[in-house]
């Protein structure tokens, strides 16, 4: 079996970090299935498959792994990257909006992971999952306020540990990467300007490729004894 044949499923590939992760894994020799709501038009590399799905739709999430397997026959890597962000003071966040956050950022990763894990265990194969967490898996963020998002990213850390704990015995590794502030559309413009000053490492935001490199590392054999961990690629943001 060559690297060439390996399949990685990455969610949220239409832009930003997800796109960078997909490009990186393509460069590392994976075939990549990119899942996004509106489609991924930016990547035209052979080996990339554009799969459309709205991850807030739980019924749709439950079909996705089967759909990918039917097309590719295998999945080696799952990267749960897609996430919704809603800025609102906590006392104003409507339950319906919180529900969107929970479904996109936790339920969809759970369902995709569950189905991929089920496939690996039943077929006696293995693979690895990388969940994109956040510095907000550990610390709060207030400008602008985003308590709902923080809650989901804290939950993502728990999901990572729980799935790793339960499946270590099958040789399946589950890890997280917690990016600092990335230069993507998700960081609000004022973040780009001001927030660099809060980052110890040369006062700069992360390039998406630097986060993708951490994801790629966790997918390699070099990470063969690493499971249940959250790797913070945050330029030292949480240090002070």
Q: Which residues bind another protein (CB under 8 A)?
A: 161-162, 164-169, 171, 173, 180, 199-203, 206-207, 210-211, 213-214, 216-217, 221-229, 231-236, 238-240
Cα–Cα distance, 180 to 58 (Å, whole number): 29
| Nearest to another protein of 68, 215 (CB atom) | 215
Contact 50, 39 (CB under 8 A): yes
Residue 45 or 220: the one with the smaller Cβ distance to another protein is: 220
* Residue nearer to another protein on the CB measure, 28 or 50: 28
Helix axes 108-122, 58-72, angle to 10 degrees: 40
As measured in angstroms, the least distance from the Cβ of 57 to another protein is 30
Per DSSP, the residues of 119-150 read: HHHHTT---EEEEE--GGGTS--BTTBBHHHH
Which of residues 85 and 162 has its CB atom nearest to another protein in the complex?
Answer: 162
Check 30, 87, 149, 232 and give the catalytic one. 149
Tell me the angle at which helices 95-102 and 147-167 cross, rounded to the nearest 10 degrees.
Answer: 30
Nearest approach in angstroms of CB 222 to another protein is 4
Using CA atoms of 17, 207, 178, 28 in order, give the dihedral in degrees to the nearest 10: 60
- Strand ranges (E), 60-114: 77-80
Q: Measured from the CB of residue 228, what is the shortest distance to another protein in angstroms?
A: 3
Q: How far is CA 171 from CA 9, 22, 156, 163, 226, in A?
A: 19, 24, 21, 12, 11
Task: Please say which residue, 54 or 229, places its beta carbon nearer to another protein.
Answer: 229
For the chain, state the CA radius of gyration: 17
Nearest distance, CB of residue 196 and another protein, angstroms: 12
The nearest distance, CB 167 to another protein, in angstroms, is: 8
Decide if 149 is catalytic.
yes
> Which residues are tagged catalytic?
149
């Amino acid at each position: 079996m060559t690297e060439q044949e390996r399949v990685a499923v990455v969610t949220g590939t239409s832009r930003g970090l997800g796109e960078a992760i997909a490009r990186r894994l393509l460069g590392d020799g994976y075939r990549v299935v990119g899942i996004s709501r509106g489609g991924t038009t930016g990547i035209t590399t052979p080996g990339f498959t554009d799969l459309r799905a709205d991850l807030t739709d739980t019924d749709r999430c439950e079909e996705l792994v089967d759909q990918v397997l039917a097309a590719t026959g295998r999945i080696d890597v799952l990267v749960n990257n897609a996430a919704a962000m809603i800025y609102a003071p906590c006392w104003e966040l409507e339950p319906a909006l919180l529900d969107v956050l929970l479904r996109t950022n936790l339920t969809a990763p759970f369902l995709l992971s569950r189905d991929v894990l089920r496939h690996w265990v039943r077929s006696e194969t293995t693979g690895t999952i990388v969940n994109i967490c956040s510095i907000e898996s550990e610390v709060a963020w207030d400008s602008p306020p985003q308590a709902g998002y923080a809650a989901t990213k804290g939950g993502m850390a728990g999901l990572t540990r729980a799935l790793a704990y339960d499946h270590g015995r099958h040789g399946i590794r589950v890890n997280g990467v917690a990016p600092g502030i990335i230069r993507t559309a998700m960081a609000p413009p004022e973040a780009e300007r001001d927030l660099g000053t809060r980052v110890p490492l040369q006062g700069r935001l992360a390039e998406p490729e630097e986060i993708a490199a951490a994801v790629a590392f966790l997918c390699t054999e070099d990470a063969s004894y690493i499971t249940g961990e959250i790797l913070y690629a945050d330029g030292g943001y949480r240090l002070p």
